[in-house]
């Protein structure tokens, strides 16, 4: 019933272009689908996407200096940080005015602790100055430079002023530099002193340990998944329950159980000592280090490897192996050339799951990792809840997110994401 106009577009029976009439027919369906997912969409927006967006924004946000010390920021613009001298009187006058207002509102300590992240010691300068400035008459009590220096001679240090000047803009890359063990030097970013470099090491360790955990999961899960996929349905179900059993136990309980197992007075060490394999004074250190974290996390993440592998292996028909053998392949060749290549999508899916889960894992490394086995996520948690440096935490989180996305992209390039089967 369609017709074609001169320009080639197909017309519906009533003469409207077919495309438009199709779009109209589908519109109702689209609206209905949208309404059905709307509650979830709203929920995810409010509780997930917006907080993450807010956190990511905090990693570059820096309006506290320019908001609390507006006059000082303006006055500092002309000061040359490389002059080696503290700025002149007009800056101190502006600072006195700013600080008085800030101290009334009790905001001066916040600026202090913000700048303290960058240059340790600034916090106390602000706290002491704040107390004094409250009593001054800003109009008549000048000049202020001497008075500030009397409160604390740190106010004469050009480094302090450079920090204030550097962090005047509303946005900063300071958190990100910090997260990559860099700092703002006199001429652009520079490495932090060797003994202060921590994040680069933590990122490397997180990557390395996640990789080790993923590989141990593959090695342990592959035979289990194979047995599951090849057993008769009834026994397979029973075994499947055993695989899923850990999911029904609290993560904390499982991790604590590993503590009991692995500690120096724990089950394994006691058994080894009792068997005489290990001397009583040379008990193995298996916890509060990388080994403990790897063992506990491999155990916890194993089901995430087994399940996708199982679902892929289930679809590989046993006749493939038979066919290979009838064509003259030994058991090993049949497995390696015919079965294994077909099971790769399962390995890929499991690896992505386990690797991405472990890269952001927090509880287990926190409990059994000690100092050598902690992940980057533990440092993020520290900055969120203890040091309250949310900007740095956000920057670390953003880097972690970027790394995961890059790995995901690389995986797609190398293996192909359509090769991944979750079930």
Partner 1 sequence: MADASNHDAFVEFERVQKSYDGENLVVKDLNLSMPKGEFLTMLGPSGSGKTTCLMMLAGFETATHGDIRLGGTSINNIPPHKRGIGMVFQNYALFPHMTIAENLSFPLEVRKLGKSEREEKVMRALDMVEMGAFGGRRPAQLSGGQQQRIALARALVFEPELVLMDEPLGALDKQLREKMQFEITHLAHRLGITVVYVTHDQTEALTMSDRVAVFEDGRIQQLAPPDKLYEEPQNSFVAQFIGENNTLEGVVKEINDGVALVQLDNGDLIDAKPINVSQPGERTRVSIRPERVEFNKDRMPEGAHTLKAEVMEFIYMGDIFRTRLRVAGKDDFFVKTRNAPDQVRLTPGQEIEIGWLAEDCRALDA
List of residues contacting partner 1 (CB under 8 A): 317, 319-320, 322-331, 333-334, 337-338, 341-342
Q: Which is nearer to partner 1, 208 or 320 (CB)?
A: 320
Q: Which is nearer to partner 1, 47 or 326 (CB)?
A: 326
Q: C-beta of 312: minimal distance to partner 1 in Å?
A: 12
Q: C-beta of 233: minimal distance to partner 1 in Å?
A: 17
Q: Which is nearer to partner 1, 131 or 322 (CB)?
A: 322
Q: C-beta of 345: minimal distance to partner 1 in Å?
A: 10
By C-alpha distance, which of 46, 79, 235, 88 is closest to 166?
A: 79
**Cα–Cα distance measured from residue 419 to residue 11, given in angstroms and rounded to the nearest whole number:** 40
CB 399 within 8 A of CB 179: yes
Instruction: Tell me if the bond preceding 143 is cis, omega within 30° of 0.
Output: yes
Q: Which is nearer to partner 1, 271 or 331 (CB)?
A: 331
Q: C-beta of 259: minimal distance to partner 1 in Å?
A: 44
Helix/strand/coil percent split, the chain, to 5 = 70, 5, 25
Q: C-beta of 351: minimal distance to partner 1 in Å?
A: 18
Q: Which is nearer to partner 1, 43 or 336 (CB)?
A: 336
Q: Which is nearer to partner 1, 223 or 318 (CB)?
A: 318
Output the six-digit token pair for 314. 């289930």
Q: C-beta of 230: minimal distance to partner 1 in Å?
A: 14
Alpha-carbon distances of 202 from 252, 301, 320, 361, 372, rounded to whole Å: 23, 21, 45, 13, 10
Tally of CB atoms within 10 A around 405: 10
Q: C-beta of 317: minimal distance to partner 1 in Å?
A: 7
Q: Which is nearer to partner 1, 83 or 333 (CB)?
A: 333
Contacts with 273 (C-beta within 8 Å, 6 or more apart), sequence order = 279, 280, 283
**Cα–Cα distance measured from residue 284 to residue 297, given in angstroms and rounded to the nearest whole number:** 19
End-to-end CA distance of the chain: 43
């Amino acid at each position: 019933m369609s017709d074609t106009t001169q320009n080639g577009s197909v017309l519906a029976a009533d003469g409207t272009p077919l495309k438009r009439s199709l779009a109209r027919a589908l519109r109702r369906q689209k609206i209905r689908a949208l309404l059905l997912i709307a509650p979830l969409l709203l929920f995810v927006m409010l509780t997930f996407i917006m907080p993450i967006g807010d956190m990511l924004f905090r990693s570059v946000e820096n309006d506290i200096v320019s908001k609390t010390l507006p006059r000082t920021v303006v006055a500092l613009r002309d000061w040359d940080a490389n002059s080696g001298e503290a700025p002149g009187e007009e800056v101190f006058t502006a600072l006195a005015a700013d600080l008085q207002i800030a101290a009334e509102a009790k905001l001066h300590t916040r600026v202090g602790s913000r700048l303290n992240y960058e240059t340790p010691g600034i916090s106390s300068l602000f706290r002491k100055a704040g107390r004094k400035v409250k009593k001054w008459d800003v109009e008549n009590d000048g000049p202020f430079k001497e008075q500030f220096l009397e409160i604390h001679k740190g106010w004469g240090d050009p480094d302090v002023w450079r920090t204030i000047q550097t962090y005047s803009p509303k946005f900063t890359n300071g958190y990100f530099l910090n997260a990559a063990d860099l700092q703002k030097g006199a001429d652009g970013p520079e490495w932090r002193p060797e003994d202060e470099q921590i994040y680069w090491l933590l990122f490397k360790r997180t990557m390395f340990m996640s990789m080790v955990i993923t590989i141990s999961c593959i090695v342990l899960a592959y035979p289990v998944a194979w047995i599951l996929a090849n057993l008769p349905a009834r026994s397979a179900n029973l075994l499947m329950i055993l695989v899923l059993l850990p999911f029904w136990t609290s993560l904390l309980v499982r991790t604590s159980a590993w503590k009991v197992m692995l500690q120096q007075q724990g089950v394994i060490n006691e058994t080894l000592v009792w068997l005489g394999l290990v001397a009583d004074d040379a008990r193995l250190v298996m916890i509060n280090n990388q080994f403990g974290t790897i063992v506990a996390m491999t155990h916890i993440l194993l089901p995430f490897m087994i399940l996708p592998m199982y679902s892929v292996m289930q679809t590989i028909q046993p006749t493939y192996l038979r066919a290979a053998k009838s064509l003259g392949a030994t058991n090993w060749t049949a497995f390696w050339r015919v079965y294994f290549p077909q099971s790769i999508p399962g390995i890929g899916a499991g690896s992505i799951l386990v690797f991405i889960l472990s890269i952001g894992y927090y509880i287990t490394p926190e409990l059994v990792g000690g100092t050598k086995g902690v992940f980057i996520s533990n440092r993020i948690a520290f900055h969120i809840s203890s040091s309250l440096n949310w900007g740095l935490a956000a920057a670390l989180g953003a880097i972690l997110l970027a790394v995961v996305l890059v790995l995901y992209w690389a995986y797609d390039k190398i293996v192909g994401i359509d090769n991944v089967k979750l079930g």
